[in-house]
Amino acid sequence: MKGVFPISFMLSCFLLLLDSSTALPLCLHSERPFTLNTTIGFCPYNGSTCCHSTEDEGIQKQFQLMNASDPGCASILKSILCARCDPFSAELFTVQSTPRSVPVLCNSTIPGNSSQSKAAVQDFCSEVWDTCQAVSIINSPFSPSLQGQAGGTPGNNANATKLTELWQSKTDFCNAFGGASNSESVCFEGEPVELNNTRTPMNTPHGLCLEKVGDGSYLNMVAHPDGSNRAFFSSQMGKVWLATIPDEGSGGQLELDVSSPFVDLTDQVYSDTQLGMMGMAFHPNFTNNGRFFASFNCDKDQWSGCNGVCSCNSNVDCDPSKMGNENGVQPCQYQAVIAEYTANGTASPPSSLSAKPVEVRRIFTMGLPFISQHGGQILFGPNDGYLYFMMGDGGGSGDPYNFAQNKKSLLGKIMRLDINNIPSASEISKLGLWGSYSIPKDNAFSEDKDLQPEIWALGLRNPWRCSFDSERPSYFFCADAGQDLYEEVDLITKGGNYGWRVYEGPYLFTPTESPGGNTSLNSINPILPISGYNHSEVNKNEESASVTGGYVYRSRTDPCMYGRYLYTDLYAGAIWTAIEDPQNSGNFSTTRIPFCCAHDSPIQCDSVPGSSLPALGYIFSFGEDNNKDVYILASTGVYRVARPSRCSYTCSLEKATTTPPSSPSPSHSSCCSNFFSGYLFLHLSSFLLLYIDFV
């Protein structure tokens, strides 16, 4: 695949990537807006919309049943009902995760109406009241009993049809249904939402300052659910430690006793260069129930508990007996497992310093066709409490069996599982589940019956590190490792298809072999990345690149980094930030930023020979603590994003310190003026066993 794309084609694809970014998937039930070939008949939405013709017909029928006699009120009611088709309907019909019967009606009396297109947003809520207060409305969507039901669901209020019969005053009415538009939300003013296209000045970071707070190499970090200054760290080998985190700038180091892990799962985990313990997650109610989960690989030849069904099977038109072996390994010798454990014991879960490596329940087991590209991260959704499971395409160059586009395969997918409602053995068998979990009723199969019910999103090659924005949980970021040309960052939405292997990032992809068949270009509607980079940006030979996803930075430690999504490459060649510009648009601008290590870092940061760059080695993952500080988990240790002034970076938003930074110590790496030099130094000999081959 190398060298086959002319420059003109690559440039056109890059422009397509920039111009094709749509509004965020803010339809109700987490669906992404789509573009219809024809205009729907009743609701006046052209281009991007959240309604197919069936929803449009349903809204029209609901409007007709209301039988509003006043033309002015009828027009307003139509616009309010049709707001369900607005690309921002999830924002309009949801306030603090609570669904509403009608959209948030713009109310100019509430300060903050600044993000929508008009200079002064009209007081639409008052207009609704003034126009409709004395009009009879059958099954009025403004009934107090419907405030918790999104979408204007009809109620049993046919006898109370006037606003004056439902609400005592305009003030009460607008307190219930009114709201303002600001940087965090939008409101409805009778027309499709249009955001302000002007860009507000941004405090572009001059660089990313790091401090090294721990030695050791870890693949995962999860903040303790009790909100304390503790976090769990896990290794690829299968050990989990509970560490205490020092305050930023205190000079302290991670308090972590390597000889005393929180739990040791090495007897169950098979660890190799591309296999091991891939993820861990702690139940949102861990402090009370002690439930936690591990995602790892096992070897069925070494452990009797490694006994799942092969992902290459007749259900997906795949016969493992006909598959070529990878590195002499039989298909499905290695399996992907999610298992549940407990910290319950003599102490309450928040105080527990250890847990037994005894499996409480097997959540999921699936045999892997090859030994690479199997993701494995798990995390709980911040709003829904469901477990998200990131799974790669299973390996093989170019996904030869086309698993990522096969809607009956779980490879190349993001899954969403309900681990709180345990099904019976008969239910598991009847539904063909891969373990002990239930299916959320609003998973993507509710809209696409061809999808396996576990699937939330599809078309991914190897999602390596995903995260929810802690302040805007509808923003679900995943970094997806590419193959020949491009590493991408995606915004994940319900039922979203991210293109692999029809596309690799913004580029069309042509597989060299296709024993599993192909997916036609016109049969899918791929969602292009919101950010990413070409392999040539980190290696002129277009080799040795693999994206590592991070977090939207929400700490106040570096205020100039606030709101930016941080991500990097496995090989520590560069760090990028992506920020939505303008706000609420779904369009992201990407900046590659310099980075260095603070001169007063608690642990000395070694430098890349011939450069002032800190020698991070491989960057495996990111972490976030309960203060929203962000960490880099590298093969050379644990690094935390520090105050920019500690690296002599200027950030106008950072509070001035009483003592200016002292001169760098000769034994510590100082900030670099040329951050490009020397970044490909890899320390290959030191970290082969810890290297994960994502490419």
| Strand extents, DSSP E, 276-384 | 277-282, 291-299, 309-310, 334-342, 361-367, 378-380
For residues 296, 302, 303, 309, the Cα torsion angle rounded to the nearest 10 degrees is: 70
Based on the fold, state whether residues 163 and 217 are members of the same structural domain: no
List pLDDT tens digits, range 154-190.
Answer: 444 446 579 999 999 999 999 889 887 654 568 899 9
| Residue 631: closest CA among 313, 213, 46 | 213
For 404-440, the pLDDT digits (tens) are 999 999 999 999 999 999 999 999 998 899 999 999 9
**Are 166 and 248 contained in the same domain?**
no
Q: Quick check: is 44 in a domain? A: yes
Distance between CA 319 and CA 316 in Å, rounded? 9
* pLDDT, average across residues 178-204: 71
Say which residue, 672 or 171, is predicted with more confidence: 171
Domain-located, residue 5: no
The domain that holds 561 is classified in CATH as 2.120.10.30
Residue 543's pLDDT is what? 59
d(CA 90, CA 188): 12
In this structure, is residue 7 part of a structural domain? no
- Average pLDDT rounded to a whole number, residues 497-522: 94
- Give the model's pLDDT for residue 35: 80
Q: For residue 119, what pLDDT is reported? A: 38
Q: Is the pLDDT of residue 525 over 80?
A: yes
Q: What is the CA radius of gyration of the chain?
A: 26
pLDDT for 620-667, tens place per residue?
A: 999 999 999 999 999 999 999 999 999 999 998 887 443 444 433 333
Domain end among 179, 194, 228: 179
Query: At residue 498, does pLDDT exceed 60?
Result: yes
Residue where a domain terminates, one of 137, 164, 179: 179
Residue 77 has a pLDDT of 96
Q: What mean pLDDT is reported for the chain?
A: 85
Q: What angle do CA 147, 148, 150 make, to 5 degrees?
A: 90
Sign of the torsion angle spanned by Cα atoms 634, 637, 640, 642: negative
Domain identity same for 93 and 233:
no
Q: Which of 300, 427, 424, 428 is nearest to 367 (CA)?
A: 300
Q: Which of 10-19, 580-589, 653-662 reaches the highest mean pLDDT?
A: 580-589
48 — pLDDT class (breaks 50, 70, 90): confident
pLDDT digits (tens, 9 = 90+) for 206-239: 999 999 999 999 999 999 999 999 999 999 999 9
Q: Residue 361 burial (CB < 10 Å; 0-12/13-18/19+)?
A: middle
694: confidence class by pLDDT, cuts 50, 70, 90 = very low
Higher-scoring residue by pLDDT: 119, 541:
541
Are the C-beta atoms of residues 388 and 466 closer than 8 Å to each other?
yes
In the numeric block, which tokens belong to residue 93?
């019909």
SS3 of 173, please?
helix
Contacts of 224 by beta carbon, 8 Å cutoff, 6+ apart? 230, 231, 232, 242, 282, 350, 626
Q: In the prediction, which pLDDT does 225 show? A: 96
Count of structural domains within the chain: 2
Cβ within 8 Å of residue 475, ≥6 positions away:
24, 468, 469, 491, 552
Q: Which of 160, 179, 198 is the last residue of a domain?
A: 179
The span from the CA of 675 to the CA of 183, in Å, is: 34
pLDDT at 150 over 70: no
Residues 166 and 236 in one domain: no
Is residue 21 scored above 50 in pLDDT?
no
Residue 566, pLDDT score: 98
Q: Which of 294, 307, 357 is nearest to 335 (CA)?
A: 307
Label each residue of 403-466 as H, E or C: HHHCCCCCCCEEEEEECCCCCCHHHHHHHCCCCCCECCCCCHHHCCCCCCCCEEEECCCCEEEE
- What single-letter DSSP state applies at residue 612? S
- Identify which of 321, 333, 311, 494 has the alpha carbon closest to the alpha carbon of residue 409: 311
**Percent residues over pLDDT 70 in the chain:** 82
The DSSP secondary structure of 212-279, one letter per residue, reads EEE-S--SEEEE-TT-SSEEEEE-TTSEEEEEEPPPTTS----B--TTS-SEE-TTT---BTTBSEEE
Question: In the 8-state DSSP scheme, what is residue 164?
Answer: H
> Do residues 447 and 559 share a domain?
yes
In a domain, 13, yes or no: no
Residues 136 and 234 in one domain: no
| Residue with the larger pLDDT of the pair 120 and 32 | 32
Domain match, 303 and 397 both = yes
Residues 542 and 654 in one domain: yes
Instruction: Provide mean pLDDT across the span 566-573.
Output: 88
Q: Is the pLDDT of residue 38 over 60?
A: yes
Residue at 14 is within a domain: no
Which of 332-336, 498-502, 570-574 shows the lowest per-residue confidence on average (mean pLDDT)? 570-574
Is residue 21 a part of any domain in this protein?
A: no
Please check whether residue 553 is in contact with residue 631, taking contact to mean a CB–CB distance below 8 angstroms. no
Closest by CA position to 48, among listed 484, 624, 585, 509: 585
**pLDDT tens by residue, 350-361:** 778 899 999 999
The pLDDT-based confidence of 668 (bands split at 50, 70, 90) is very low
The more confidently predicted of residues 131 and 691 is: 131
Same domain, 130 and 261: no
Higher pLDDT, 323 or 99: 323
pLDDT for 398 = 95
Neighbour-count burial of 649, counting CB atoms closer than 10 A to its CB (0-12 exposed, 13-18 middle, 19+ buried): buried
Mean pLDDT throughout 324-331? 83
395: left (phi over 0), alpha (psi -120 to 50) or beta: left
Residue 457 lies in a domain: yes
Structural domain including 238 reads: 208-690
> Are residue 131 and residue 215 in the same domain, yes or no?
no
Least confident of 434-438, 530-534, 667-671: 667-671
Residues 132 and 239 in one domain: no
Q: Is the pLDDT of residue 330 over 80?
A: yes
pLDDT (0 to 100) of residue 152: 40
419 close to 437: Cβ distance less than 8 angstroms: yes
Predicted local distance difference test score (pLDDT) of residue 151 = 44
**Is 424 within the bounds of a domain?**
yes
pLDDT band at 24 (very low <50, low <70, confident <90, very high): low
- Give percent of the chain with pLDDT exceeding 90: 65
| Contact in structure between 355 and 263 (CB atoms under 8 Å) | yes
Quick one: pLDDT at residue 339? 98
Cα–Cα distance measured from residue 566 to residue 628, given in angstroms and rounded to the nearest whole number: 13
Res 336 pLDDT > 50: yes
At residue 575, φ and ψ (nearest 5 deg) are -125, 135
Q: What is the pLDDT of residues 359-403, one digit of tens each?
A: 999 999 999 999 999 999 999 999 899 999 999 999 999 999 999
Give the sign of the dihedral formed by CA 328, CA 332, CA 338, CA 342: negative
- pLDDT given at position 67: 92
pTM score above 0.85: no
Tens-digit pLDDT profile for residues 73-118: 999 999 999 999 998 888 888 776 677 889 999 986 544 444 444 4
**pLDDT at residue 157, as a whole number:** 44
Closest CA to 223 of 242, 250, 247, 251: 242
Whether 238 and 387 map to the same domain: the answer is yes
pLDDT, tens digit, for every residue of 448-463? 999 999 999 999 999 9
State residue 146's pLDDT score. 65
